[in-house]
Amino acid sequence: MIPRREFGRTGCQSTRVIFGAYALSKATQAEADRALALLQEYGVNHIDTAPMYGNAEKVIGPWLAKHRDDFFIATKTRSRSRQGALDNLKRSLERLRVDYIDLWQMHGLTNPAGWEKAMGPEGTLEAFIEARDEGLVRFLGVTGHGSKVPAMHKQSLGRFDFDTVLLPYNHMMMQNPRYAADFNELVEMCGSRNVAVQTIKSIARWPCRGGSETYNTYFYEPLETQDAIDKSVHWSLGFQDSFLITAGDMQLLPKVLDAANRFETRPSEADMVALAEEFAIQPVFK
């Protein structure tokens, strides 16, 4: 079983691995049921989804109708307006068949103009506070892709006391000195406030515009072999105060869960350099 730890200051015990429900964006109900049953086999109790993830919320809903108490549910909004965000939340609640969301996140909050709108009058932040006060959501967070995310998340935490952040993290990205510095500063800030850190892109191999042709991954082509996935997942889990979100592909899900289930120690720097050379790993974001 995959271990659990305190999910920041939420008081919830989440598995170190969170299910990335983008994997269900094209899934049938039967496929989703099999994937969710697999999560239970490994003890995974945390699902990260979004209304823009195709079928995901729709096919998760019937499962939650029976297993709501077994899962911490996170969803998102891409809207930068108060009313747009509230409309997104209403639809998510209906599709997921739940009365409340555990974690509601501002999705992809990295564009400065969008950030100003979301944080300003009649912006997303007003919807977040309103929904939390009404009991429709319990906790609030921010997410992002790209090399500017750690810096933007620091700015977001300076504006509002969010409960969680979500951003890319893998060995190759941390070879970028600027990204690594911003990431480490963000982690220090999160540690001082007990903000949960969620990471994505653990098994990215190289960037792929428009996504992989073989796998349901966004932004990148993934590593495929169990050994390569083991090393990459274990390296990311080596950051003990974090939670890894699985790749958005059902073919890769069993391999990622298997790797996480066997995690003991982080691979050495030499092992990761050798892996990068063997698979020609490249940064997903410049």
Tens of pLDDT, residues 84-118:
999 999 999 999 999 999 999 999 999 999 999 99
Instruction: With 0.95 as the threshold, say if the pTM is over it.
Output: yes
Alpha helix ranges (H) inside 99-172: 112-119, 124-133, 149-159
What number is the average pLDDT over the span 195-218?
A: 90
Strand partners, 4: 15
**Predicted pLDDT at 80:** 98
How many other CB atoms are found less than 10 A from the CB of residue 129? Answer: 14
Q: Does residue 42 surpass a pLDDT of 90? A: yes
In a domain, 283, yes or no: no
How would you classify the pairing of strands 196-200 and 164-168? parallel
What is the tally of structural domains in the chain? 1
In a domain, 87, yes or no: yes
Work out the pLDDT band at 74, boundaries 50, 70, 90.
very high
How many other CB atoms are found less than 10 A from the CB of residue 3? Answer: 13
Q: Does residue 34 surpass a pLDDT of 90? A: yes
What number is the average pLDDT over the span 261-277?
A: 98
Q: Does residue 140 surpass a pLDDT of 80? A: yes
Look up the CATH number of the domain holding residue 109.
3.20.20.100
In a domain, 286, yes or no: no
Chain center to CA of 84: 22
Q: Does residue 221 surpass a pLDDT of 80? A: yes
In a domain, 284, yes or no: no
**Predicted pLDDT at 208:** 87
Domain hosting residue 224, numbered range: 4-278
Tokens linked to 238: 């080596």
Helical pair 124-133 and 82-96, crossing angle rounded to 10 deg = 50
